[in-house]
């Protein structure tokens, strides 16, 4: 009995330990990004982000002028009871007391630093990174040496508005169209019904790449390229098979009796659809809405092709990708920019996770 209990505890520790490790591995990349986005731009480049944790660092406590001490750098020197050559001092020599002596500068005019290892944290947090990526205006800051530097803003604020302008209609329009179609497939009888639904199922996995060249040509004729309308319609078209399929699966399982009694009372299909089916389908509508919203918000390829290069219409993923391309080393911008693109989907995701999971479980293979 006792051994089985010990075994159980060991099992429990193993399960929770391994899981905790996995969760940490999954979290660390995001934590690193989030922490860095608030750090000073110089700190990001010179110290790793985990320097915000207490760590030991050499700090100068005393500076010695070797010439005043009468030391000759060409041979072994003795300082504070330590004898070392110039090369050794250059690399740093640790004293028995735990101090470090280091020669800074060149052989002739350098100084010797006495350093102590002290606990420290690198806690210089700022909102400047966010200000700079959000602003459309140029950003002025003063360097530590006093020079004033002007950098154009990245206008993520405008890009955020563009993303919202793209994502909301691109989510709502397909839901509306798909809900009508799902109702039609589920509750109406008409010739070609089976064939049409087969088409919907077949198109579920069709890669959207297949449509890009022809649709781009149509848009060129309609003079639609680079407009929001172009991308709303494209996302509507590409999202429609999954929307119809998911909503059909839900609507077709609603209790038949409820609908039939409504029909007997003389209600038309349209009334039943708007008054009965839509309210009952809210969970399914919400699942798809979250699915489509996250998909559209995070999309890069469709936006890249249909919105094109006009900076004024770029969505957040495009702006972020543009910074990666232009200034891939500017981590203060990249981290803040990446977090700005993530905030809204993360809020949606965490507040409506339940619906999102339901949508995933409803069986989804999207093209």
Partner 1 sequence: MQYLERRASMELSPIARLVTNLLRIALAALIPLIAFYILYQGFLFLRAGNASKGVITLIAIVWGVGGVAILYWVFNWLVELLPLYWTTRLQPFVFVGPAMAILAWYLFLPSLRTLWISLYGKDGPPGIPLSLLFSSPNEFIALLRAQFVGLGNYIAVFTDRLMREAFRNNIFFWIGVATPLTVIFGLLVAVLADRSKFENFAKAMVFMPMAISFVGAGVIWNFIYEVKPVGSPQIGLLNAIVVGLGGQPQAWPAYTAISPWNNLFLVIIVVWLQTGYAMVLFSAALKGIPEEIIEAARVDGANEMEVFFRIMVPSIRGTIITVTTTVIIFTLKIFDVVWVMTGGQFGTDVIATQFYRQSFIARNSGYGSAIAIVLLIAVIPVMVYNLRRFGEQEAF
**Segment 275 to 304, residues that bind partner 1, using CB under 8 A:** 294, 297-301
CB of 169 to partner 1, least distance (A): 5
State the number of binding residues for partner 1 (CB under 8 A): 121
Q: Does 26 bind partner 1 (CB under 8 A)?
A: yes
One residue of 123, 125, 141, 263 binding partner 1 per CB under 8 A: 263
Contact status, residue 66 vs residue 77, Cβ threshold 8 Å: yes
> How far is the C-alpha of 127 from the C-alpha of 226, rounded, in Å?
33
Tokens of 93: 């020599």
Site for partner 1, residues 176 to 215, rule: CB under 8 A = 176-178, 180-181, 183-185, 188-191, 193-194, 196-215
| Binding status of residue 23 toward partner 1 by CB under 8 A | yes
Contacts of 121 (CB under 8 A, 6+ apart): 51, 52, 53, 54, 55
To the nearest whole angstrom, how small is the minimum distance from the Cβ of residue 137 to partner 1? 17
In the set 19, 60, 118, 282, which binds partner 1 (CB under 8 A)?
Answer: 19
Q: Does 259 bind partner 1 (CB under 8 A)?
A: no
Considering the complex, what minimum distance in angstroms separates the CB of residue 234 from partner 1? 7
Which of 6, 9, 16, 76: binder of partner 1 (CB under 8 A)?
Answer: 16
Burial bucket for residue 136 (CB in 10 Å: 0-12, 13-18, 19+): middle
Query: Residue 92 burial by CB count (10 A; 0-12/13-18/19+): exposed, middle or buried?
Result: middle
Is 121 near partner 1 (CB under 8 A)?
no
Structure token pair of residue 84:
């070392």
**Interface with partner 1 (CB under 8 A), residue from 233, 246, 259, 307:** 233
Is 5 an interacting residue with respect to partner 1 (CB under 8 A)?
Answer: no
| 278 alpha-carbon distance from chain centroid | 33
The Cα 201–Cα 172 span in angstroms is 21
Distance of CA 294 to the CA centre of its chain: 11
Q: Which stretch binds partner 1 (CB under 8 A): 60-68, 73-81, 109-117, 341-349?
A: 341-349
240 binds partner 1 (CB under 8 A): yes
Kindly tell me which of 121 and 198 has the beta carbon lying closer to partner 1: 198
73 or 172: CB nearest partner 1? 172
Note whether 153 and 137 are within 8 A (CB). Answer: yes
Angle between helices 228-251 and 156-187 in degrees, nearest 10: 40
* Contacting residue, 139, 314, 320, 355, with partner 1 by CB under 8 A: 320
- The CA distance from 17 to 88, in Å, is 45
Alpha helices in 223-352 (DSSP H): 228-251, 256-264, 269-271, 278-280, 282-298, 301-306, 316-326, 331-351
| Nearest partner of 166 among 315, 49, 328, judged by Cα | 315
Contact pick of 114, 165, 254, 262 for partner 1 (by CB under 8 A): 165
Ranges within 35-94 binding partner 1 (CB under 8 A): 36, 44-50
Stretch of 22-30, 93-101, 106-114, 134-142 lying at the interface with partner 1 (CB under 8 A): 22-30
């Amino acid at each position: 009995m006792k051994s089985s209990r010990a075994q159980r505890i060991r099992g429990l520790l193993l399960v929770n330990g391994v899981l905790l490790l996995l969760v940490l591995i999954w979290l660390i990349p995001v934590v690193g990004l989030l922490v860095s986005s608030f750090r000073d731009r110089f700190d990001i480049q010179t110290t790793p982000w985990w320097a915000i944790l207490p760590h030991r660092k050499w700090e100068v406590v005393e500076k010695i002028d070797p010439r005043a001490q009468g030391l000759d750098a060409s041979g072994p020197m003795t300082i504070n009871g330590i004898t070392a050559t110039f090369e050794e001092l250059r690399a740093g020599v640790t004293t028995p007391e735990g101090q470090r002596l280091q020669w800074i500068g060149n052989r002739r005019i350098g100084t010797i630093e006495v350093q102590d290892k002290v606990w420290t944290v690198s806690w210089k947090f700022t909102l400047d990174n966010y200000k700079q990526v959000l602003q459309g205006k140029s950003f002025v800051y003063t360097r530590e040496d006093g020079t004033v530097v002007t950098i154009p803003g990245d206008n993520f604020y405008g890009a955020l508005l563009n993303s919202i302008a793209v994502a909301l209609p691109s989510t709502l329009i397909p839901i509306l169209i798909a809900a009508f179609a799902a109702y039609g497939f589920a509750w109406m009888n008409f010739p070609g019904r089976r064939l049409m639904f087969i088409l919907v199922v077949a198109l579920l996995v069709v890669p959207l790449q297949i449509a890009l060249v022809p649709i781009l040509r149509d848009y060129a004729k309609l003079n639609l390229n680079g407009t929001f309308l172009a991308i709303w319609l494209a996302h509507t078209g590409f999202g429609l098979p999954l929307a119809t399929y998911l909503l059909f699966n839900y609507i077709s399982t609603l209790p038949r009796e409820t609908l039939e009694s409504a029909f007997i009372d003389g209600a038309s299909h349209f009334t039943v659809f708007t008054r009965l089916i839509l309210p009952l389908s809210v969970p399914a509508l919400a699942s798809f809405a979250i699915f489509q919203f996250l998909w559209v918000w995070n999309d890069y390829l469709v936006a890249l092709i249909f919105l094109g290069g006009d900076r004024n219409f770029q969505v957040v993923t495009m702006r972020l990708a543009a910074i990666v391309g232009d200034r891939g080393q500017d981590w203060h911008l990249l981290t803040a920019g990446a977090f700005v693109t993530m905030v809204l989907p993360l809020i949606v995701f965490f507040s409506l996770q339940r619906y999102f999971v339901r949508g995933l479980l409803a069986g989804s293979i999207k093209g």
